[in-house]
Amino acid sequence: MNEFDKPLFIREIIKTSHDMHIKGWTEANGGNISLRLREEFVKEVSAFEPQSDWTSLNGSVPGLANDYFLVSGTGRFLRNISLFPEKNVGIIQLDDKGENYRILWGYEGGSRPTSELFAHLMTHEVRKKESKGVEHAVIHTHTPNLIALTYHKEYTTAEISYILWAHHVECAVVFPEGVFLLPWMMAGSYEIGRATADAMKVHRMVIWQHHGIFASGRNLDESFGLIHTAEKSAEIFIKANILGGVNSKPDLERLQKIAENFGKKLNPDLVKELNSKT
């Protein structure tokens, strides 16, 4: 791969990481991105000479056996991907058990996949199954308004989902399943990866309390769009509160009608929990 012949997935990660930086979500080495490569690209990259030995994932993701991923590098800045993709991202291949990976391209200058690699892979494994192979892109990032909500109050998943649906009604259409709120856990640990992936059986976005957000979508545009929409709602909620408080907002019934207008349905478990409290 040379400077003048960047494949589509490299151009996509350049665009998405740049957009994330412009939004103010990617301070220093904050955030990470992974993309499960599509068949047409696998053909090309599987011919690459391996650049490392097999490395243990310290866990297994059998649902991703023999898959290939584009993954941002640990310690690298997402805002620098556009300048030097070959230093700041890499391509890895998983073995036929989903227990080890090796590097095929990138991480020049001595990086390796993100510290959140296992959280990304476990999320991919769950979402690949739940979406019947449709979802390919996982983004973790540090969105200031969503993070601020987790400092404001100890919200439940149902409460934070309602806040987001209600303060930018587009959210009821974009993520009717709601957003899971994961109580604080150590970043980079197996536990946070497992809990995130478990929540992803139902949700496509998981907020990490006092830290950030994880999202899965069909492609980088969709994962970015999910986060963008949720973050905008959190911003509107905060702005309305700065103006003196929220004195007018749609109730669940109206939000359900908006979702239904687009052939969607709000998560019935969350709706039940919210109705039981009112």
| Interface with ligand 2HA (CB under 6 A) | 29-32, 115-116, 140, 187
DSSP codes of every residue in 219-250: SHHHHHHHHHHHHHHHHHHHHHHHTT------
| 31 DSSP assignment | -
Q: Least Å distance between CB 184 and Zn ion?
A: 12
* Residues at the site binding Zn ion, with contacts judged by CB under 5 A: 212
Binding partner selected for residue 115 from Zn ion, ligand 2HA, none, CB under the kind-specific 5 to 8 Å limit: ligand 2HA
98 binds, among Zn ion, ligand 2HA, none (CB under 5 to 8 A by kind): none
Look at residues 91, 208, 192 and name the one whose alpha carbon lies nearest to residue 147. Answer: 208
Paired with 205 in beta bridges are 215
Antiparallel, parallel or unpaired: β 137-141 and 89-94: unpaired
By a kind-dependent CB cut-off of 5 to 8 A, residue 32 interacts, out of ligand 2HA, Zn ion, none, with ligand 2HA
Residue 131, binding choice from ligand 2HA, Zn ion, none, Cβ under 5 to 8 Å by partner class: none
| Residue 6 vs 194, nearer CB to ligand 2HA | 194
- For 3, residues 6+ apart whose C-beta sits below 8 A from its C-beta are none
Q: How far is the CB of 124 from Zn ion (least distance, A)?
A: 17
* Nearest distance from C-beta of residue 227 to ligand 2HA, angstroms: 13
Choice between 85 and 176, CB closer to ligand 2HA: 85
Nearer to ligand 2HA, 139 or 173 (CB): 139
Among the options 12, 116, 222, 231, which is catalytic? Answer: 116
Provide the β-strand partners of residue 216. 138
CB under 8 Å to 4, separation ≥6 — which residues? none
**Closest residue to Zn ion: CB criterion:** 212
Nearer to ligand 2HA by C-beta: 30 or 63?
30
Tell me, yes or no, if 159 is annotated catalytic. Answer: no
Nearest residue by C-beta to ligand 2HA? 187
CB atoms under 10 Å from CB of 234, counted, come to 27
3 state SS of 33:
strand
Name the helix (H) or strand (E) containing 42. helix 39-45
Q: Which residues are catalytic?
A: 116
